[in-house]
Chains A and B, each alone.
Chain A
């Protein structure tokens, strides 16, 4: 069964459609890039999958269920903005995640924090923007979830950390799990993706595997993206 499935999913903000009759499926064991320019509907889709927004019409299901308490056990979500209390330090955050999620692997998180030289006593408010993003991603990837929904996971970090994060994503998810990464930094992630979904103005304009794109169009996903979303000068 598909891990995530959208059928005719539509979300309007007033009269503006953010998602317009979107059909898509994500199978288990895939790393999928959700790619689109600003305002294309990426975050709206991810928020619906986490039950933070309700569709105007159509359905989105996770493992056959509508978003809710049960699906939150399966989904590990990295929002585009931090929601963690800024007075907490790293150890308190680890305690917090342990309390919340039975699938949280504390040892894995501690290992990654050490690798990125993040001190356990540091409070969030003392951290730089990049370090906050690292900590948040480490927490999210340390859950043994079925589906990881990562909204712009690498936007604010330097290239070396970006490499580390991408390798972390590859080596941490298990073969039955899937990862959905929304980003516009395509060149950085395309080598790790199985499939890409191009989304524009609330429509899915392309869903394909990375190697299919490269074999058929003789160009990288990054180049194809620039071609598909080119603005007239």
Chain B
């Protein structure tokens, strides 16, 4: 997969975000076996310890799991994937409300704008 990094965020959080994105979008299939940490690190051009830290965080969230002898796998539990998707969507929505509030739009006006857009699209 393609990796890109922003300069102003910790690399491991960006690794977590990009792996999560790849899993939710199906770029990495549910149940798929992941390459080793070092291989992934070399592919992304990042430090192996940083990749290890990202993997640990993804494991904590349940999106990937490790089997002692055979490596790491993406979960095939649809409920876990849906849950992660909903959490990410929730965060996007929160960020959206925050930036609308910053523009001076309260909830009501924002909702109005959203439905208005839909109508314009319908027309």
Contacts and interface: CB of A to CB of B under 8 A. Distances in A.
Interface of A: 29-31, 163, 166-167, 170-171, 175, 191-194, 210-211, 214-215, 218-220, 222-223
A211 B38 contact: no
Say whether chain B's binding surface is mostly helix, strand, loop, or mixed.
helix
Interface of A: prevailing SS: helix
B78 interface: no
12 contacts: A29-B49, A166-B45, A171-B38, A171-B39, A192-B47, A194-B50, A210-B47, A210-B50, A211-B10, A214-B7, A214-B8, A215-B10
Given A191-B44, A214-B7, A222-B7, 18 more contacts: A163-B45, A166-B45, A170-B38, A170-B41, A170-B47, A171-B41, A191-B45, A191-B46, A191-B47, A192-B45, A192-B47, A210-B11, A211-B50, A215-B9, A218-B9, A219-B7, A220-B8, A223-B7
Given A170-B38, A170-B41, A170-B42, A194 B8 contact: no
B73 interface: no
Size category of the B interface is 10 to 19
Q: In the complex, which of the residues A30, A163, A192 has the most CB atoms of chain B within 10 Å of its own CB atom?
A: A192
B30 interface: no
Interface of B: 5, 7-12, 38-39, 41-42, 44-50
Nearest to B10: A211
Given A220-B7, A223-B7, A170 B12 contact: no
Nearest to A167: B42
Contact of A191 (B5, B8, B9): B5
